[in-house]
Amino acid sequence: MPKIRTHRSTAKRVKVTANGKVLHRHQFSGCGHILSKKSRKRKRNFRRDQPTFKGDLKRFAPQIPYLL
């Protein structure tokens, strides 16, 4: 039986911690342009990885079978 293929763009946007939490990487979320109108606090929060919602996990699970 062949291996399941990982959806590469999802794997680049999602990171799994050692405790099993799934974090969404924020380097892709439109935070690299038109920064002059965004507040310092908002730009600073773009640097952090944010936890994903349970509805997103259901969507991500088949795409990244070996990370979860």
Q: pLDDT at residue 29 above 70?
A: no
Q: Give the residue with greater pLDDT, 25 vs 2.
A: 2
Q: Give the residue with greater pLDDT, 15 vs 68.
A: 15
Instruction: Indicate whether this model's pTM tops 0.75.
Output: no
- 11 three-class SS: helix
